[in-house]
Amino acid sequence: MRESGAARAGQHLASGRAVRDAARRAVCVAEGHEAVEAFLDQFNHRYVALLYRAWKKYRYPESFRPSGTDAQSRNLLCLAGFGGGDKPARSGLPDSRVLALLGLMVQRTRTPEGLAGVVALAVPGVEVRVDEFWPTLRRAGQPQPLTSSGRLAGPPGGLPSGRAAEDSQRRGPGGGYVLGNRLAYRSRAVRVTLCPSDGQQAHDLLPGAWLHRELMAFIRLYVGTKADVHLRMEVSSRLAPAPSVSIAAAGPAPRLGWTVVLPSDEARTITIALGVYEVSPTPGPNPHLVPLVT
């Protein structure tokens, strides 16, 4: 082997032993590189796969920012329908709390198991029981007089128009007549029963407390306009605060109508109504309407 030195104006010199050995090794490696690459490819692929799995697993926790303000959290909120309008904030919850509900919020249906999971997330340590198709009393509308004849197919001939319209709406037994002013309606209500773990949690679940407000906010976000939710709490009389007449109390003070229980040797279960989440609540009076003066 010979090489040309550019600095020596084309003079040919014999190459050294080290150069020849390096060239020989390069030729040998080049001739068997396919086998070497095939052998090392599986290790390289496994190494890259492990790096990708580690990046996929830890990239979100590493990039998470307080209150869910990072880009990945915003994308997840958009996936569940909370990307715009500050819907969680209007319900009284931060975005970081709503992120825990994404697995349930992305489902199209609202199941009793999902509602129980939401309540268990809002109130840790509580036992939840959900009864679907809970009967509620609804008004049956304007009562109609009961007659001896069923509904007619049409107005009989020869009758005046007013009487014909009245006879065509007559109802009798077997014609769908409703007795009374109210009926049981089962298609739009569920009942949720909570069993708190201790007395402090039972006190915080009472209406007006912070845990009750947070629970209602979670239910409002999850249920939406699907159904009415009737909340109640079953607590042992042992967990109720002792009634006392004093200004300062060491523990939670008893609340009249909810947790005021006379002392007893036997424990019994107390049922406390926690309120109703209504899909369409009854509107309040309009202060801008002026009553007509006759």
Segment 188-204 mean pLDDT: 91
pLDDT at 79 exceeding the cut of 50:
yes
Task: Identify the residue whose tokens are 């190494």.
Answer: 47
CA distances to 16, 129, 148, 234, 263 from 268, in Å:
102, 19, 52, 10, 11
pLDDT of residue 46: 79
| pTM, 2 dp | 0.65
Segment 185-212 mean pLDDT: 90
pLDDT of residue 233: 93
CA distances to 1, 12, 15, 18, 76 from 4, in Å:
10, 5, 10, 17, 65
Domain boundaries, given as residue ranges, for the chain: 19-63, 64-108, 111-138+181-244+253-284
pLDDT at 173 exceeding the cut of 50:
yes
pLDDT of residue 107: 85
Q: Residues of the chain with pLDDT > 70: what percent?
A: 71
Nearest residue to 254 via CA among 190, 199, 197: 199
| The dihedral formed by the CA atoms of 209, 214, 219 and 222, expressed in degrees to the nearest 10 | 180
The secondary structure element, H or E, covering residue 257 is: none
pLDDT at 108 exceeding the cut of 50:
yes
Under 8 Å between Cβ of 229 and 277: yes
Under 8 Å between Cβ of 5 and 11: yes
Strand runs labelled E in the chain: 2-4, 12-14, 127-131, 136-139, 182-185, 189-195, 228-236, 269-277
As a whole number of Å, the CA-based R_g of the chain is: 38
